[in-house]
Structure 1
Amino acid sequence: MIPLPLARIAEITSGALAGMADPRAVVRGPVVTDSRAVEPGSLFVAIKGDRVDGHDFAAQAVAAGAVAVLASRPVDAPAVIVGDTVAAMTVLATAVCAALPATTVIGLTGSAGKTTTKDLLARLTARIGPTVATAGSFNNEIGHPLTVLRAGEDTRYLVLELGARSAGHITHLTRVAPPRIGVVLNVGTAHLGVFGGKEEIARAKGELVEALPADGVAVLNADDPLVAAMAGRTGARVTWYGRSEGVTVRAENVTVDERGRASFTLRTPSGAAPVALRLYGEHAVENALAAAAAAYELGLPVATIAEELSEAEPRSRWRMEVTDRADGVTVINDAYNANPDSMRAAFGALDALAGDRRRFAVVAALRELGDESVALNEGLGRLAGEAGLAGLFVVGPDADPVLAGARAAVGAAVPAVPVSHGAALHGPPGEPPGRLSPVAAFGEAPETGGAGPAATRVSHAADAAQASAELSALLAPGDVVLVKGPRAAGLEHVAAALLGGDRR
């Protein structure tokens, strides 16, 4: 962070110094919202949540080295008192970013793959100059300014992942740190229930390219029609990436090895180079291309881009982490989050990695799908039921549509879905207008090399602990397990249990 005296922080945030705060005391960073993360020179931002009030930890934060507390009420510590601490932190981040004219801001959004792409791009920009990037998925109204406030006078690149939970959200984030390069990955069905449809999701994601200056660059996925249409919403120059012929940055001759890792030729206007990804799943090709296209715009040679992409390991936890146990059981921990698009990609990765080995999956009902929830969760069940699994465990509440879809796919009796779900199971005859079919969301199930669908055992588990116990009793050396579900389901605990407490 740019060193700032408390008097200047109070001026920027329209705050008042209190608690014997020294106006000349300098905050050098980091700015944190967790008192346990305080370092000497920090500014601790006290946020009142539903269960924890950061103000209660103000004295602890200062004792750990914080210069002061950004608070909304008096605390037993030096403080800058403001009306709203999150709003004040955002104003502070906006001012810090404006004071860094030599820093290039790169914004990135999409329905799936944001964090992986951000990690790849941050690795690439670090080859050119000091880089600050979003930690994990800190892409909301709290995590975004916290990331911006990590930037200092030596920061050359600020790589920011932008999430959208409603219309106008990305616009708000881009005002904090105006991007010069904007990368849009895809428009899928994540948060479909919040937005109401894919077109509305596209409108929200497209706010990123609308924020670009005329001399900026929009990096767009040519293979996604809703993303491609965003070219008409920006005055910035457009660079295309994808697998289509003639695209500026594209992948040619894609192959996938026995571990589910893709290799391809990276083709750019300045030449080509081979890429062999260490990331799992063919869907990682699109993430790599997006990062490569942005790096190409920054002037990185294609050989350097290919080298960095080929050396990159998964950086953010619980995203396609593949671990082999001593007995040969392979656990794919992709439990950070899930939506229909990422579920299909995960099952494709499972198929490629498992080959003719016995395979299992642990999933949970997808959330935030609105009126399409039953149909899309039934589609998830069908996808899993047709994936050649020896066993499928559906964890947690609202599992009925997933179980119904899976049992239908394997030829078992399909129980009725309770009326409380608010909709009938999807079926072609008489389908309600506007309903997104499971096939439209998930496509055809991947061809499988394991046991046929009829061999699949479909089970419901109340929680992660039950799923872990029952699955552990079934596993044999050489089996492969996919663990994938929405973040709230806590399925990372299943992976941890299967690996003996090793969360990797």
Structure 2
Amino acid sequence: MLDLTLDDIARTIGGTLVLGDHAVQEGTSEVSVVNGAVDTDSREIVPGGIFVAKPGEFSDGHLYVPAAVANGADLVIVEHVIDDLTVPQIVVANSVEALGMLATEVIRRIRELGVLTVIGITGSNGKTTTKNLLRTILERQGPTIAPRDSFNNEVGAPLTMLKVEPETRFLVAEMGASAPGEITRLVRMARPDIGVVLTVGLAHAGEFGGIEKTLATKTEMVTDLLPTDVAVLNLDDYRVESMADKTRAEVLWFGLDTNAGVRAADLVQTTAGTDFTLTLPTGESQRVHFSVLGEHHVTNALAAAAVAHTVGVPLHAIVAGLESVTRAERWRMEVLPGTQGVTIINDAYNASPDSMLAGLKTLAQISGPGIRRVAILGEMSELGEFSLEEHDRIGRTIVRLGIERVFVVGEGARALHLAATHEGSWDGESAFFDTADEAYALLEGELRSGDVVLVKSSNSAGLRFLGDRLGEHFA
């Protein structure tokens, strides 16, 4: 983070600076400078850090202030004074809002130096994969900051922004939302030069209240962009395509559509990944061997390529970056090949109807002598009133895709099992299990050499651990 005085920070976040037992008048601490890493997790605090005490649903960050200080925090931001503290504290009305204010000011000051380019990424699916791909490409061009894991909400996004330094050339910010207005808040914090929208689907539809509200929320990414900015939009998604009329920015399309400026063609999928030809708006093209499995991840690769092209990365460097990535992320289309001839595709970190369908289509497209395609599926969470309908739709789709064997785990996914069982005449068979342990007990003897197995569910269903167990067993 930038060097900031205690007074700077207190003014920025509208807080009261307290040293010992006394509030400090403005101007008396101008020489006290802090510049350490900011975090809301006391375990992540390192010497010189700034700890933000955030009240939570199950615990209160104020309880961990002493631990943060013990780990070396030079400053704590709190909502009430902590007694007997040996480091300065700034008292604010709302620590999460204060975190956002601090991030906004730090980004503003660093942008004034004229080096930083900010890229914001949103979408119902693919944010983390696209972020990882883009980070891999851009960090070869200059100092790049991108979030760890899926730090994309009102806490995670500003924590990532606060990692920027005066020499940072690129900031890649994931921007997620569970309610309208949240992306707008993050966009106004970071002020992206490039705004990326990947997809608009039914992920979190239960929280938003329907697909139209989801569309309106994702559109927030581009509505505040300036005419000098660039909106990178997915031409294959008609809802994303509709955003072109909602932005003042220049639009750069990506997708499989032949009218996209950044596009892929001649896709060939195997268990080793997807080969495709990447074409840029300049007309340049190059063949790519992309190890991340699934056509939907090719779309994410195109989004990353479009951003990289926009900031001047040459085609050969874009391709080299894409080809160096061997997996999207832990538990995202992660291929676990086994010496016993069983290949496990562990994609059970997140699941929406769109990503579930994409994973199943990828499984269906994998073929070859002796290959049997097996799906192990769990609940798609956060669908609200759409849950029954969408699980039913996926169950019927499995049959139509011709996947040979299906195992369904957990009561939340029972509708999927019932739909697959009742869909027409099917040579395959669907089996249902209440728990992952019950499924594992059967699967370790059921799977055989040549099987390609997709494990897919929402994080809450816990099937990612079942996928890991199967990977270890057949390794």
Alignment TM-score > 0.5, same fold: yes
Aligned 1:444-455 pairs, distance under 5 A: 453-455=426-428
Q: Structure 1 pair 128/260, CA: closer, same or farther in 2 (3 Å)?
A: closer
* Contact in 2 for aligned 1:107/1:208 (Cα 8 Å): yes
Q: Equivalent of 2:443, from 453, 471, 474?
A: 471
Amino acid at match of 1:94: T
Q: Equivalent of 2:41, from 9, 17, 34?
A: 34
* Shift of residue 70, structure 1, vs aligned partner: 1.4
* Shift of residue 323, structure 1, vs aligned partner: 0.8
* Contact in 1 for aligned 2:229/2:250 (Cα 8 Å): yes
The alignment-based identity, stated in percent, is 41
* Shift of residue 270, structure 1, vs aligned partner: 4.7
Aligned to 1:343: 356
* Shift of residue 376, structure 1, vs aligned partner: 0.9
* Shift of residue 157, structure 1, vs aligned partner: 0.9
Aligned to 1:375: 389
Q: Structure 1 pair 315/227, CA: closer, same or farther in 2 (3 Å)?
A: closer
Aligned to 1:143: 156
Amino acid at match of 1:48: P
Aligned to 2:276: 263
Aligned CA-pair RMSD: 2.2
Q: Structure 1 pair 109/231, CA: closer, same or farther in 2 (3 Å)?
A: same
Q: Equivalent of 2:90, from 55, 80, 84?
A: 80
Aligned 1:65-214 pairs, distance under 5 A: 65-75=72-82, 76-77=84-85, 78=87, 79-101=89-111, 102=114, 103-214=116-227
Amino acid at match of 2:18: A
Query: Aligned partners of 1:19 and 1:387: how far apart in 2?
Result: 66
> 3-state SS of the aligned residue for 1:460?
strand
* Contact in 2 for aligned 1:266/1:275 (Cα 8 Å): no
Amino acid at match of 1:74: V
Aligned to 2:377: 363
Query: Aligned partners of 2:436 and 2:166: how far apart in 1?
Result: 46
* Contact in 2 for aligned 1:262/1:285 (Cα 8 Å): no
Aligned 1:201-280 pairs, distance under 5 A: 201-280=214-293
Query: Aligned partners of 1:73 and 1:141: how far apart in 2?
Result: 21
* Contact in 2 for aligned 1:268/1:302 (Cα 8 Å): no
* Shift of residue 19, structure 1, vs aligned partner: 5.5
Cα deviation code 1:415-436 (max 9, x no counterpart): xxxxxxxxxxxxxxxxxxxxxx
Query: Aligned partners of 1:197 and 1:376: how far apart in 2?
Result: 13
Query: Aligned partners of 2:40 and 2:175: how far apart in 1?
Result: 19
Amino acid at match of 2:443: L
Query: Aligned partners of 1:270 and 1:40: how far apart in 2?
Result: 50
* Contact in 1 for aligned 2:264/2:276 (Cα 8 Å): no
Query: Aligned partners of 1:30 and 1:354: how far apart in 2?
Result: 49
Query: Aligned partners of 1:476 and 1:162: how far apart in 2?
Result: 42
Cα deviation code 1:203-244 (max 9, x no counterpart): 111111111111111111122221111111111111112222
Aligned to 1:10: 10
* Contact in 2 for aligned 1:323/1:330 (Cα 8 Å): yes
* Shift of residue 63, structure 1, vs aligned partner: 1.1
Cα deviation code 1:448-483 (max 9, x no counterpart): xxxxx4232x23222333333332232233432211
Query: Aligned partners of 1:255 and 1:391: how far apart in 2?
Result: 24
* Contact in 1 for aligned 2:292/2:328 (Cα 8 Å): no
Cα deviation code 1:301-320 (max 9, x no counterpart): 12221222222222521111
Aligned 1:298-377 pairs, distance under 5 A: 298-314=311-327, 316-353=329-366, 355=368, 356-377=370-391
Aligned to 2:466: 494
Q: TM-score scaled to structure 1, two decimals?
A: 0.86
Amino acid at match of 1:95: E
> 3-state SS of the aligned residue for 2:66?
helix
